[in-house]
Amino acid sequence: MAKSVTKDMTSGSPMKLILQFCIPLFFGMLFQQFYSMMDTIIVGKFLGVGALAAVGATGSINFMIIGFCMGVCNGFAIPVAQQFGAGDYHALRKYVANSVWLSIAFSGVMTVAVCVFCRRILLLMNTPADIMDGAFRYIFVIFLGIPVVYLYNLLSGIIRSLGDSKSPLIFLIFSSVLNIVLDMVLILVFHMGVSGAAWATVISQAISGAACLIYMIKRFDILKMSGEEWQADGIYMKNLCNMGIPMGLQYSITAIGSVILQTAVNTLGSMAVAAIAAAAKIGMFFCCPFDAMGSTMATYAGQNVGAGKLERVSAGMKSTCMLGLVYSVLAFVVLALSGKTIALLFVSPSEHAILQDVNRYLVISAAFFFPLALVNIVRFTIQGLGFSRFAILAGVCEMAARSLVGMGFVPVFGYIAACFASPVAWICADLFLIPAYLYVMKKLYRMMGHEPVT
């Protein structure tokens, strides 16, 4: 067994376990968003609105590619959590080993492919000519770092699947501080421009991934493998792909809608792009708790379905939804009262029009935070239960909604329509996910031969 670092979530108070697991995970994601936001702040303050727009113009394509990587790694961790809950440590190690081989293959192919087509994609997105070069320099470096995205997200996902959400937090705090220092050094001292911000992100994540690897080797006896366990196994790889690829596609399909929306926003000019870039960064920072709740439920549901304790999954779902509702109200109040003030972190006070647009975007989005909370909680619970293909269909709902707004409403109503794109997408996803969750639970109860607890 591991040296007191794993955590069994199949017994004890669901609310207490979820909070204990979720809080460190939240702070980890908060720091991850913090150093991403620092990139934007430093770029906007020291390189100007044009550079801020250049980075912002890459946001949707960045999410589409990097989101796929993160989704795949999260999917790979689910069978690990299920086997840990079931107590089958040999199968657990086989899943870990095969996820490593798959991640090496995926990262190699993806890095080459997206770097080759990077500029062409930006052109297809109608990226404004005055920010094209900056956008390319930034996103090309980010895409070169795809292997380290796999490194960190795979290893941190495995650590979390064993019930340890605190250690990845420590590594992220260190890398967040390092990222900020590198931002300042590469941009202000070496004058590397937007590419310096990208290199700071890649280097910081590489160090965080390396720290996860060293920690796993030293602390998790449960992961010490024999030579046979390291061998590639087609059945295990198939199961991992059945989990990982749908989760990755869910991110990417969702992002396709964002790419279409971004293409429409690009036609509004670089000032609109800059406003949405700043607002999106602030919004992502405030949405970290929703991501943490979702990832918590993936591990919690995975361990409990592995142990055959479906009634605990339902109890955990109710507890997490209550947490999501309370936080949604608090976040809306904060952003409604201080959104424009927070936006001053990104742009100078003289940019009155941009500040107004940022505030408008934040208030509208925050009014629909609870539907977003449900998207994360319900979707990740379904994935943890082993039905990750439903995530693709939820992603299709979000993609269709954002595409409709981007193609049909932004050209007519302009910026205000773009502000409603994400809320519409979240509601459409919920209309699919909630019935899907009820169907999945009913099917699992039937498979396990007992009636649901009401």
pLDDT tens digit string along 265-287?
888 887 888 888 788 878 888 98
Q: Please state which of the ranges 40-44, 140-144, 200-204 shows the lowest mean pLDDT.
A: 40-44
Q: Is the pLDDT of residue 29 over 80?
A: no
- CA–CA distance from 51 to each of 277, 285, 363, 365 (Å)? 11, 21, 25, 25
pLDDT tens digits, residue range 305-342? 988 899 999 999 999 999 999 999 999 999 999 888 88
pLDDT (0 to 100) of residue 273: 82
What is the C-alpha to C-alpha distance for residues 402 and 412, in angstroms, rounded to an integer? 15
Closest CA to 372 of 301, 252, 289: 289
Question: What is the pLDDT confidence band of residue 454, given thresholds at 50, 70 and 90?
Answer: very low
pLDDT (0 to 100) of residue 6: 65
Q: Is the pLDDT of residue 115 over 90?
A: yes
CB atoms closer than 10 angstroms to residue 239: 20
The angle subtended at Cα 389 by Cα 64 and Cα 258, nearest 5°, is 25
Tell me if 379 is assigned to some domain: yes
Q: Is the pLDDT of residue 2 over 60?
A: no
Tell me if 431 is assigned to some domain: yes
What is the C-alpha to C-alpha distance for residues 430 and 311, in angstroms, rounded to an integer? 22
Question: What is the pLDDT confidence band of residue 4, given thresholds at 50, 70 and 90?
Answer: very low
Tell me if 4 is assigned to some domain: no
Residues above pLDDT 70, as percent of the chain:
96
Residues above pLDDT 90, as percent of the chain:
46
What is the C-alpha to C-alpha distance for residues 122 and 130, in angstroms, rounded to an integer? 13
What is the C-alpha to C-alpha distance for residues 393 and 357, in angstroms, rounded to an integer? 32
pLDDT (0 to 100) of residue 270: 78
Average pLDDT (387-409) is 86
Q: Is the pLDDT of residue 107 over 50?
A: yes
Q: Is the pLDDT of residue 170 over 90?
A: no
Which residues are CB-neighbours of 356 under 8 A, at least 6 positions away? 340
Q: Is the pLDDT of residue 453 over 50?
A: no
pLDDT tens digits, residue range 211-226? 999 999 998 989 999 8
What is the C-alpha to C-alpha distance for residues 167 and 216, in angstroms, rounded to an integer? 10
What is the C-alpha to C-alpha distance for residues 275 and 44, in angstroms, rounded to an integer? 11
Closest CA to 365 of 403, 402, 392, 390: 402
pLDDT (0 to 100) of residue 182: 93
Tell me if 184 is assigned to some domain: yes
pLDDT (0 to 100) of residue 372: 95
- Structural domain range at position 70: 14-447
- The letter for the amino acid at 298 is A
pLDDT tens digits, residue range 337-391? 988 888 887 777 877 888 888 889 999 999 999 999 999 999 999 988 988 778 7
- CA–CA distance from 272 to each of 45, 64, 285 (Å)? 17, 21, 20
Tell me if 9 is assigned to some domain: no
What is the C-alpha to C-alpha distance for residues 342 and 127, in angstroms, rounded to an integer? 27
Tell me the torsion sign for CA atoms 38, 145, 205, 26. positive
Q: Please state which of the ranges 26-40, 285-299, 417-431 shows the lowest mean pLDDT.
A: 26-40
Tell me if 23 is assigned to some domain: yes
Q: Is the pLDDT of residue 210 over 90?
A: yes
pTM over 0.95: no
Q: Is 271 exposed, middle or buried (0-12, 13-18, 19+ CB in 10 A)?
A: middle
- Our count of domains for the chain comes to 1
Q: Is the pLDDT of residue 450 over 70?
A: no
CB atoms closer than 10 angstroms to residue 274: 28
Tell me if 289 is assigned to some domain: yes
What one-character-per-residue DSSP string does 212-225 give?
HHHHHHHH-GGG--
Closest CA to 263 of 124, 117, 424: 124
Tell me if 45 is assigned to some domain: yes
Helix boundaries (H) for 48-164: 49-57, 59-86, 89-124, 132-144, 146-161
Average pLDDT (105-132) is 93
Mean pLDDT of the chain: 88
